[in-house]
Structure 1
Amino acid sequence: MEIEKKVESGVLIFALEGDLMGGPEAEAFQKEILAAIEREQVQVVADLSRVRWMNSSGLGMLIRALISLRSSSGDLRLASISERLRRPMEIARLDTVFQQYDAVTEAINSFN
């Protein structure tokens, strides 16, 4: 998994690419989230448009980030989720936990 980050309209966007499988990449993502919290950048969007696959560890990575951000009065919104990723989230009932948007722009605008 690769992580690109940028800020748009005051919202931190993480563009994730590859497979979300946990491991060292999950730890790197959590460190990025914690660093963002320290900078008080707690409105975050995860752009999943370039994610090919996600297992339960990948779901756990997103849940950890969500919990960290919400405990700091922030939130993690998911954008551009393929049907291949959406299905495991529905099975785990995480579609009721995460706010999901078809496009990154919609997710950014949801913070306003």
Structure 2
Amino acid sequence: MAYVDHAFSITDEDDLVGGAIGGPRGAPVKEIAFAAALLAFGVLGVVAGLFMAANQVGGDTAHGIFFMVLGIVMFIPGFYYTRIAYYAYKGYKGFSFSNIPPI
């Protein structure tokens, strides 16, 4: 039998990633709302940027490209964490609310 250093072993009792001691944390409402807001404003930014770049509304084409880039930067994490929250809510294997970082 090999020697195992228990200082570096991970057991279910030592796992505090799930939140408070005594049980898993529930759905992180604040984090999910923030992810959904990022997703919504990201889509809005991409659509507004496309409209501004195509029709030169609100300035020149550079303003539209700026809004598109800003919308993409907001859309990517918003979509990612909203997807994790949705799959965790539906109970898919490998997804849990503990995968969403706290704010």
TM bucket by the smaller chain? under 0.3
Question: Normalising by structure 2, what TM-score?
Answer: 0.23
Q: Which structure has more strand as a fraction of its residues?
A: 1
**Structure with larger RCO (C-alpha < 8 A, sep 6+):** 2
Q: Which structure has more helix as a fraction of its residues?
A: 2
Question: Normalising by structure 1, what TM-score?
Answer: 0.22
Structure possessing the higher radius of gyration over alpha carbons: 2
